[in-house]
Structure 1
Amino acid sequence: MDDVIIIGGSFAGLAAALQLGRARRQVTVLDTGMPRNRFAAHSHGLLGHDHKSPLDILAAARQQLARYVTVKLVSARADSLTGTIDDFAVHTDAGDSLRGRRVLLSYGVADQMPPIPGFAECWGKTIVPCPYCDGFEVADKHWGLLWSGPQSQHAVALFHDWTDHLTVFADGHDIAPDIRADLVARQVDVVDGKLVEIAHTAGQIASVNLDTGRHVALDVLFAHPRNQPSASLHAALGLETVETPVGIALKVDDQRQTSLPGIYAAGDLANPMASVTLASSHGAMAGIFAQQSMLV
């Protein structure tokens, strides 16, 4: 029996495995090899790894884990999860059955691309969600923001640390008059109409095309599409969730434990602030608290 079964082997899952391996706990990490940020050429803001390929960072992490003989990395998907604390069972798509005392869910979320031609092709390249992740590289250029709700007003104020050339696309949203007045006061151009196409070349955005016939040239478009968990194990277990502006997240306590004792969660699945730094931190915390919960 494993001490901990980790479902999801990206930044959060591997960070947890590292802590548990160093504590000489038996760990199996199940991973499908489909991290959320696989579309991005570079990862930014992670101390010691700034501007490196996220896939390269993960590959190096897996190599480093090889020195911990109690950690097993398995390329597989968890199809089901049952049981209670000290006796969980995980069945994989390869037909294997695993048992563990604790489980860490770190299978992340999948972004749901809107049905706008060109959007998916530009995602992670010139359509991005986070200025902390990608803003420095496009500072002082022409930014666009796809309005998604009240939280977008905060984004406008935030973006001014990187650029003064910003266009907001209402995309059919009813932006209140007082908010429009605030945007005008900030010298932000507000464009009405629905997006019908993202014109691009190999993922490099050229213009946003609207149903009004207008074409707006941009360097980068910031957008926050809805997302959903990459697996449904949490739903089958009835774990509590919380609503966020872009989807649901698993509810965890200050020790990263979910509503079911013995099951922990970390990474984007349990935190809407998508960040490799936070995912790594929360994964390490979850691993440490899972270990400490097994002390006698």
Structure 2
Amino acid sequence: MNHDVITVGGGFAGLSAAMQLGRARRRVLIIDAGLPRNRFADASHGFFGQDGKAPAEIFREAARQVAAYPTVAFIHGEATQAVRDGEGFVVTLADGRTERARKLVLAGGIVDHLPDIPGLKERWGATVLHCPYCHGYEVRDRALGVLANHPMAPHQAEMLPDWGPTTYYTQGKFEPDAETLAVLARRGVAIERQPIVEVLGATPVMEAVRLADGRVVSAEALFVAPRTTLASPLAAQLGCAIDDGMLGPVIRVDDMKATTVPGVFAAGDATTSMHNATFASAGGVIAGVAAHRALIQEDGAVRAAA
């Protein structure tokens, strides 16, 4: 085998997994396409010790630290295929190269799919946001909105008044039930049932939204939970169980980040509907430790058989 472990994805989860394995003096290869989910944001927030830093800066420093371990290697590229090969796995890259490893950590993340509303995509990561804990403080005290695109959207609207005056836009599809309406009323959340049809302002700034009835309403930031898909096809190719999450598919893992396929571990946004850099990093640590333990157990079984 070329490597003990291949980590597909060099974001918060992948680098955290690789660091544990590198410190265990295992041969680790990180394959990363350089397209992290948070590349649209100017700064990462809520990540202890990294608050306010640009995502690219965090990744550069993390990659430098991981690369200091002599058994860790990097490839900049896209992993397009993975198959089991005997006791290990073969990963094929977009350029045709192949790499082999005894274990895999899938940390390829997810892709966000925003509602098809003019002006929304251009502001993603600046004034169109997904997480108030990650970005709410930076838009505090502005005219805020929640653009509903899934049944849990009213609960996001319940939280948002702690950051600023909030309007819940039902889009004519996600009407809160009576109990939730009462909670929103107590929280001071305005309800707008006319759908947003356009976002207005000099990009990336947001000044207002145009509604379906022609009204223009002041809005300076919108929170929306986009639908998501897995960024990498490898989990499906390998036969890992994939569940329906709140916003899109998630790779099924146990408490130690093992998938349903022996020897394959997964971590990060692709494994949960709760997306946060700290969660992703912590999941990567668990996956790296679990992969190391699996290698130890495998080494012991081989020695016992000998």
Please, what TM-score do these two structures have when normalized by structure 1? 0.95
Aligned to 2:231: 230
Aligned to 1:15: 16
- Give the secondary structure class of the aligned counterpart of 1:213: coil
Rounded to whole Å, the distance in 1 between the matches of 2:130 and 2:181 is 22
- Residues 31-72 of structure 1 show CA distances to partners (whole Å, capped at 9, x for unaligned) of 100000000000011111110001110011111122111111
CA distance 1:177–1:7, shift in 2 (3 Å): closer
Conserved 8 A contact 1:86-1:102: no
AA at the equivalent of 1:59: R
Deviates more, 1:51-60 or 1:87-96: 87-96
Structure 2 residue 29 is matched with structure 1 residue 28? yes
- Residues 192-237 of structure 1 show CA distances to partners (whole Å, capped at 9, x for unaligned) of 2222111131211111111111111112110011010112111222
Aligned to 1:171: 171
Residue 132 of structure 1, CA deviation? 0.7
Q: List gaps (5 residues or longer) in structure 2.
A: 301-306
> Aligned ranges for residues 96-115 of structure 1 at < 5 Å?
96-115=97-116
Rounded to whole Å, the distance in 2 between the matches of 1:70 and 1:202 is 45
Rounded to whole Å, the distance in 2 between the matches of 1:278 and 1:183 is 28
> Aligned ranges for residues 1-296 of structure 1 at < 5 Å?
1=1, 2-83=3-84, 86-163=87-164, 165-176=165-176, 178=178, 179-295=180-296, 296=300
Q: List gaps (5 residues or longer) in structure 1.
A: none
Conserved 8 A contact 1:118-1:199: yes
Instruction: Please report the RMSD computed on the Cα atoms of aligned residues, expressed in angstroms.
Output: 1.5
Deviates more, 1:109-118 or 1:121-130: 109-118
Rounded to whole Å, the distance in 1 between the matches of 2:252 and 2:44 is 27
Conserved 8 A contact 2:115-2:149: no
Aligned to 2:303: none
- Residues 115-155 of structure 1 show CA distances to partners (whole Å, capped at 9, x for unaligned) of 21111101000010101101112222221001233312222
Residue 84 of structure 1, CA deviation? 5.8
- Give the secondary structure class of the aligned counterpart of 1:202: coil
Rounded to whole Å, the distance in 1 between the matches of 2:246 and 2:17 is 27
CA distance 1:177–1:27, shift in 2 (3 Å): closer
Rounded to whole Å, the distance in 2 between the matches of 1:55 and 1:85 is 37
Runs of 4+ in 1 over 6 A off after TM superposition: none
Residue 174 of structure 1, CA deviation? 4.5
Residue 11 of structure 1, CA deviation? 0.9
Conserved 8 A contact 1:85-1:261: no
Conserved 8 A contact 1:85-1:102: no
AA at the equivalent of 2:136: G
Identity of aligned residues (%): 38
Conserved 8 A contact 2:158-2:184: no
AA at the equivalent of 2:69: Y
Conserved 8 A contact 2:161-2:189: no
Residue 75 of structure 1, CA deviation? 0.5
AA at the equivalent of 1:3: D
Residue 181 of structure 1, CA deviation? 4.3
Rounded to whole Å, the distance in 2 between the matches of 1:137 and 1:98 is 43
Residue 176 of structure 1, CA deviation? 4.5
AA at the equivalent of 1:80: Q
Please, what TM-score do these two structures have when normalized by structure 2? 0.92
